[in-house]
Chain A
């Protein structure tokens, strides 16, 4: 047991801290008023930011250098996240590509897919959105009905995806399609990589609870997806066996999508708000409690990463983390709103953050589904 960072890790942290300070200032001077990444204007601003990150080698620290990363480990990723959120840097508009699609490419992709796709993801050249949810398939992902018909030289896609975060601004979609028309549930699904500029694809952005054009519906009508429409095979993993690819991504999304660094930064913001506004003893205890819960997540993550690097599979344990961070995020923001009192209704980072936090127990598999997973697969209760 050793809870010290190595000299190299400490040096990386110092370098990153300096880089973030300087580059955030430069970027903010360049863009003027900063908008949310879930608006068209904000998305464009943040692409400029993403390219700065990439050029300095910070966009995907744990990836091999050959794919645009920094050859780091999961520890470097945790350090990156701590410093990134501490510095007040923006949400990552590349998140779905870097944190959800890429881990599946690393695990299931061919060498050609890795060579072709990963560097473009790291560089924010291809902007991926997640095509999982459909009007009738949310928590019940195996209920997807969008179809992919195998034809000569490609696939013909029909159906509808929805609640697609940043879909209106993205260039590509990764998603599950029913490729075997006679199949049911988890079988007969194919994980496809789809450029959104194909004929037959229409994308319509719409408002999200937090006010922006953050969601999209993607309509697919006889869209022809050529076998190499993304410059390499469009099937990730094997055709008709996309479920296992999607599940591995789901575990990544739940377990590591939201690093402890985010919540530590939110708690630091709460402490600043407390120093500014004050409150009663009960509110002070809630802040202490929130600090403890956020720090418990940090410690649990250190334990999880230690185990992951020892080759232990994160598996269903990821569901525990997902419930914890999503419910913690809401509590942190509710405390902030209570500190703000009547001012809480003003538009601002806390009111916006609160609305965003409320999505946490819904996305990446609702917390009800996560609790079922914990009960059945971690505790072994009967189905």
Chain B
């Protein structure tokens, strides 16, 4: 179930060191010009999408709360950070922080009332929230309304990589702790979780706020990776793009969500000039996937469990007939 590499302190630190080495190598490749602008651009998109995928994975995959308005938090983060850097001329790091915190506050405000709802109703309420956010920015002259807001390009590889790493670490560590187990127990059976002394509302809101926080950080990086942000960038389709990462990778599998984010980002950069083809393919993949493999590519398993083949083979008699959405 869980990513076991962080189970002990040594595994935890080894992973961090390896990741940092990877980041430094990439930095040299970028500054040295080995990677051309196209690749660098794709790489940045991948990074931002990984943050979005992992943050939504915490809400949907781990806690089982079907939120389809994630672009709303992305928008809050993007606009909040852009206000900090462009309107107030404050440094970028403060913009990133503000983006995260603003989105987390939005998550708290929207999460407390709506997370009492279940399944379909929650989905529709979060979708409604995403639309409201978009319409609010559309009507705010301070941030340019429909014509949008110009933003300087400040997102650099170290910032991006640092944020991706932080997101993954926090969410993996959260998941693999008693707090993450509390969230999973809500996904698996909310009534039983409640009966076991888990404050279900508290943990649903907590997961929602953490997820929103990182979506906000992604928003800050997203805004400062373009030259302009407009409300139309954050519509329902954007929420759907993020949703498909989580669903395709396997609800409950973080590595699955990351792989899907990487893979689909690359595909969509190639299909950039044919957006309708991209959407037709996406939607067909989604429908076929749900009919033939509704648990997603990896199900709830992590990629690491495939590396430890011996261990996973033992529990491999899983009849994946999952009818447990309470």
A-B complex is real: no
Residues of A bordering B, CB below 8 Å: none
Residues of B bordering A, CB below 8 Å: none
